[in-house]
Structure 1
Amino acid sequence: MPDSNVLIYLLRRDLRVSDNPILHSLATSKNHGFTHVLPLYVFSAQQLEVKGFIPDSNTRSPYREARSKVGGFWRTGPHRVSFLAECIWDLKEGLEKAGSGLCVRVGMVGDVVDDMLRKIDAKGEIKVGGVWMVEEEGVEEKQEENQVKKACRDADVEFKIWTDEKYLIDDRDLPLTNIDELSDIFTSYRKTVEPLRDHPREVLPTPSKGALPPFPPKDSIPAQRSPFIIPDTLDNLQSSLLKPLSAHDLVQNPPSYPESTKSAHPFLGGETQAQDRLNYLITSGNITTYHSTRNGLLGHDFSTKLSAYLALGCLTARQIHSSLLSFEDGTNPSYSSVSGFGAGQNDGTKSIRFELLWRDYMRLCTRKFGPKLFRLSGFKAEGEERWNSPSRPSPGSSAAEVKSQIERFLNGTTGMGLIDASLREMYHTGYTSNRARQNVASFLAKHLKIDWRIGAEWYECMLVDYDLSSNWGNWQYLAGVGNDPRGEARIFNPVKQAFDYDPNGDYVKAWVPELRELSEPAEVFQAWTVREERRKEVGLAGLDWVESPLLKINFTINRRGRHPGRSRGDRGNGHGGGHGRGGG
């Protein structure tokens, strides 16, 4: 095919066929000049462990293990790799339906592109005319872009970076001449872009079958570099990703999955599932009640559960807005039987747009602050001395004591009911509510004063909906080193929060089954308050997290209302001011 001109479309977190600017351009433009398009996805050896793709267990991986820098956790844990595999497979099937396909590879992204360009050129069967990819924020992401750009320059191939259009407000519409103008306070940003919030750019249609340039002949595409093998089924793909993770315990004493408790996030990955979920949220009426249920803890429908799809670009914020608008304006007859159809924006749909705007903002903060996102001192670059870690214990404590606290945190055995329930839920399912996340972050960073990055890295490992900007930005916010104007003053009282959002203790007992025999919520939330005789009766006697919790908070409740005792945990209203969000 000497006259071929192939475009390599490198996908990262734009795993969808619909509302995809690159595919839309290729499907509608008559003068792009490409005869074929090769969609390419690379399982990055930097961001997830890839040695499971090596069939011979005695062969070493050429890459170092993909572990976090501070805590040494897997960068991408079992829940997210399984979800990611489903997203990739759904993308592959979606591209095939459009008359194209997907090439999957393993390695460092820049190296894979460089190797592919060199081998295609040496083989001489096809010619690569360009490499396109969507811009992402983040230090590693920018490094990847620069590496791919260099590979293209060395091969004399066109390189083009596209605007990331999965957010609510398009970058090209922002009232900023440069990123330094971005306010460090969300409220100021929100007021600036409020007029744009209700007018995102139009959703781009899905390419019709045959509209895209065809997939190159498979024998013209270089094979995966040894020693890795690319699986040919979804099950095998998931097995390859999960294999190295299951070979090592994530925590030393993992909690057992509690009997009869169901996951709040049983959803499969992929664009198809994302669209189904969005449609369900509207037709079920859950979208309308979102504002009043969003701080829930149990069940599938208290929150949207769209965050995992948004994080990987299976769904865009403007697709959500467009569907909401068709419900609010009464233009989609499939929603006509739903209460509120055609009645305009309601509290629920307004709140969803607010959360989407928060995600936008966190991403722009990543662009503005760059590597500061991962620094102990945060955006503010202050207060490093107040953090505890095994390598730098505070005066009066030892490295062993701090390490023990961290292990109990990871195991969900802190002795604080709401915190333990959330951590166990996340360990088992890859999900925990936004309200619970806020409390966990505040507990680790402000009550225990442990290096907040350990918590952020643990979330990166365990969450199915991990998003770099939302995760690290929100952890900084709640640790008091980010863009929360109240900083250190905002401290969540996890006992008060449990009374507010889990008044009967149902959530805590669902995920901490050892507490199910208790009837008093105060005892469920802090088991150390249970009388010694009662502990023996219900099987709590002798449990370290009951006898010696990491924190005791003096908080009582009576008929006249709540009466917080004198505890460091009482400072601040604990409601988060609507911030530290963008998840779920």
Structure 2
Amino acid sequence: MSPQRVLVYLLRRDLRVADNPIFHEISKLAEQSERPFTHVLPMYIFPAHQIEISGFLSDPSSKSPYPEARSEVSGFWRCGPHRAKFICESIWDLKRDLESKGSGLAIRAGNLAKTLKDVLKQFEEQKDSEVAGVWITDEEGVEEKRELREVRNVSEKAGVDFRSWVDEKYLVDDRDLPFDKPSDLPDVFTSYRKSVEPLRDAPRKELKPPKSLPPLPEFIPSQPAPFSIPENDYNALEAAVLKPIKDNPPITNPASYPTNVESAHPFSGGSSEAHKRIQHLLATASMTHYKDTRNGLLGLDFSTKLSAWLALGCITARQIHWRLIDFEDGRSDQYKGVEGYGKGENKGTAAVRFELLWRDYMRLCTRKFSHRLFRLEGFRNDTSHHWRTPDGHGPTKAWNNGNGNGNLDHEDLSATIGRFQRGETGISLIDASQRELYLTGYTSNRARQNVASFLAKHLNINWIIGAEWYEYCLVDYDVSSNWGNWQYVAGVGNDPRGEARVFNPVKQSSDYDPKGEYCVAWVEELRGMVDSKSNGHGNKPKENGEGEGILEVYQPWLVKEDRREGLGLNGRVGVEHPLKKIDFRLGRGKGGGGGGGGRYGGSSRGWSGNGWRGRGGGRGGRGGNRERGGRSDRRGDMNGPGLPE
């Protein structure tokens, strides 16, 4: 009897069966009489450097051979509980999908190359099995490229055929790019966009999903010690992944989950859930209205929320595109009667494609700039900025900006960062977003822009700390979108305006949360400042006697001390010692901060994928009385800090 010839397929961020180039090729080869392999072993390995795997230790009292999966500057876990859970769900959904095709999924944990080496060794010891090849999709990113090189080296040293694939999960396929070298990518998104338009004609056809796949080999190598994987028990798998993260949270005394508020991202991982979401967005005309609603702050359908699935490759951009085509061309009867159905591309569906292209662009920037994605000086190689940072690259004490507009001199930097994380800055839009992010793993694109600008431009704190915080928190984290968009906002990335783009979070609150509903939803202690309604937090600010009660909602430090006790604000650090006081008046502004549009990604690392872009926004006068908000030209939702969303 001839030995089984096994193909090992290492999955990373390609967690789907449909529109998957490797599964498509495997299916085609399986139909040939002369097949290069008889069995296929799909395998997902939790990467020890990106996801903490000590929860898989067979003996909980033993020590993991791998360093903890923590970020370089801040020491946060690199994957927080919301994304860890979403990854587990996505893996399990893929496992079920593969089983329905006659295959399955082996789940392991560790270093990819070391785990593969052990797998090849175990197969070598079997007389009736041999590995015919190792396949993997390529991914952009310094760590991802290193993983691929190490896997290639292990395969070649073992005499096993190795092949890396370009994953076809993007809107514009790499084969259709109008340039050959990464260095030829324009540094400005608009130039790139114009080179590939019209976007509706750009995507290639989807790859047909396999009807069936070759079986798993009779022998499946076990997980190397000292770990043990509960492959057949989802609850045990999730618990093992979440345990070390939950046992050691990054902040103390976080805000509790507020009453009467629902997460804007209550979704589960996996391809099946992603396709349900696409159908929902089309059936409710949310895609049709996307351009008008994309700057929302509360609710499920103001943005697509597709970024988390896109980031893990549970769905592809071209799958979204072709579902839009079905809707626009009237090819799917399930959407009959829905606004926009059968009437061609509309401004909403065009805006969705626009955002998908931003995800493509952020990935290509990673290819072009490589390790500069993670450098403090950014794509611009800007070494002129003196960031406040805890790692020795800047002063360790908080500062006052010299014009009486700051109130940081009583705190050191670590305490300031802690307040930023907990949502205790005293700027309600920032605090609401930070609490929502920590408690749910999601916050809107508009909020992400303001948070990033506040940290980097208003507090002058090392933007990498913000990028690492989003890496921990975001369910829709995508390496290219997150880090590229944090650079963009910080002024060291590929934003043509650089330092000139500054968001005024008070003006932004006035523009996008005019009744303060988002602020009081997530900063629960502010609810005494609005007239109560049946939903528990109302939307009509109580006047302060000066006609500007809504500004007190946006910056509660404005509430005079004799009124704070009655409003339940006494003892609140953000009220008594705000990190920043922003001078802004309804209808006119005084100096300080520009307002304005922009693009900052995440939907959609969220900035998993949606970036931010735009004109608009002035820098304000020099002590004058103007605050120019400018024209917001923000477009975005496909992920991503995040910024994805």
TM-score greater than 0.5 by the shorter chain? yes
Q: Deviation of residue 3 (structure 1)?
A: 3.1
2:524 aligned partner: 513
Alignment map for 1:72-91 (pairs within 5 Å): 72-91=75-94
Distance 2:551 2:233 in 1: 50
Paired AA for residue 547 in structure 1: E
Task: Tell me if structure 2 keeps the 8 A contact 1:492–1:575.
Answer: no
Paired AA for residue 291 in structure 1: K
Segment of structure 1 superposing worse, 567-576 or 23-32: 567-576
Q: Which deviations, in whole Å up to 9, do the C-alpha atoms of 1:46-97 show, x marking residues without a partner? A: 1010000113221111111000001100010000000100000000000000
Distance 2:20 2:636 in 1: 29
3-state SS in 1 of match to 2:4: coil
Distance 1:397 1:18 in 2: 52
Paired AA for residue 4 in structure 1: Q
Taking structure 2 as the reference length, what is the TM-score of the superposition?
Answer: 0.87
Paired AA for residue 463 in structure 1: L
Task: Tell me if structure 2 keeps the 8 A contact 1:553–1:569.
Answer: no
3-state SS in 1 of match to 2:125: helix
2:276 aligned partner: 276
Identity of aligned residues (%): 55
1:192 alignment partner, one of 192, 195, 199: 195
Please say if 1:540 is aligned against 2:540. Answer: no
Segment of structure 1 superposing worse, 363-372 or 562-571: 562-571
Segment of structure 1 superposing worse, 23-32 or 445-454: 23-32
2:451 aligned partner: 440
Segment of structure 1 superposing worse, 478-487 or 402-411: 402-411
Task: Tell me if structure 1 keeps the 8 A contact 2:484–2:493.
Answer: yes
Pair 1:481–1:580, CA change in 2 (3 A): farther
1:230 aligned partner: 229
Task: Tell me if structure 1 keeps the 8 A contact 2:133–2:160.
Answer: yes
1:461 aligned partner: 472
Paired AA for residue 312 in structure 1: L
1:578 alignment partner, one of 624, 628, 634: 634
Distance 1:186 1:180 in 2: 14
1:565 aligned partner: 590
Q: Which deviations, in whole Å up to 9, do the C-alpha atoms of 1:269-296 show, x marking residues without a partner? A: 0011001001111011111111100000
Taking structure 1 as the reference length, what is the TM-score of the superposition?
Answer: 0.96
Alignment map for 1:131-142 (pairs within 5 Å): 131-142=134-145
1:333 aligned partner: 333
Distance 1:107 1:564 in 2: 54
3-state SS in 2 of match to 1:450: coil
Task: Tell me if structure 2 keeps the 8 A contact 1:73–1:250.
Answer: yes
Task: Tell me if structure 2 keeps the 8 A contact 1:492–1:574.
Answer: no
Segment of structure 1 superposing worse, 68-77 or 378-387: 378-387
1:430 alignment partner, one of 428, 434, 441: 441
2:164 alignment partner, one of 161, 183, 187: 161
Paired AA for residue 226 in structure 1: A
1:3 aligned partner: 3
Pair 1:554–1:28, CA change in 2 (3 A): same
Paired AA for residue 525 in structure 2: E
3-state SS in 1 of match to 2:67: coil
Distance 1:385 1:439 in 2: 20
Q: Deviation of residue 151 (structure 1)?
A: 0.6
CA RMSD of aligned residues (A): 1.6
Distance 2:233 2:384 in 1: 47
Q: Which deviations, in whole Å up to 9, do the C-alpha atoms of 1:466-494 show, x marking residues without a partner? A: 00000000000000000000000000000
Pair 1:396–1:105, CA change in 2 (3 A): closer
Paired AA for residue 230 in structure 1: I
Distance 2:127 2:236 in 1: 32
Q: Deviation of residue 300 (structure 1)?
A: 0.6
Pair 1:168–1:372, CA change in 2 (3 A): same
2:173 aligned partner: 170
Q: Deviation of residue 372 (structure 1)?
A: 0.2
Q: Deviation of residue 579 (structure 1)?
A: 6.0
Distance 1:43 1:396 in 2: 39
Q: Deviation of residue 397 (structure 1)?
A: 4.0
Distance 1:547 1:524 in 2: 14
Distance 1:582 1:378 in 2: 23
Q: Deviation of residue 566 (structure 1)?
A: 1.1
2:215 aligned partner: 214
Distance 2:396 2:23 in 1: 58
Structure 1: which 5+ residue stretches go unaligned? none
Q: Deviation of residue 384 (structure 1)?
A: 5.2
Structure 1 or 2: more helix by fraction: 1
Task: Tell me if structure 2 keeps the 8 A contact 1:438–1:580.
Answer: no
Paired AA for residue 142 in structure 1: K
Task: Tell me if structure 1 keeps the 8 A contact 2:103–2:215.
Answer: yes
Q: Deviation of residue 581 (structure 1)?
A: 6.0
Paired AA for residue 565 in structure 1: K
Structure 2: which 5+ residue stretches go unaligned? 400-408, 530-540, 542-548, 596-617, 620-628, 640-644
Task: Tell me if structure 1 keeps the 8 A contact 2:303–2:637.
Answer: no
Paired AA for residue 493 in structure 1: N
Pair 1:170–1:229, CA change in 2 (3 A): same
Please say if 1:492 is aligned against 2:503. Answer: yes
Distance 2:466 2:638 in 1: 17
Q: Deviation of residue 534 (structure 1)?
A: 1.7
Distance 1:284 1:555 in 2: 38
Pair 1:329–1:108, CA change in 2 (3 A): same
Q: Deviation of residue 32 (structure 1)?
A: 4.7
3-state SS in 2 of match to 1:460: helix
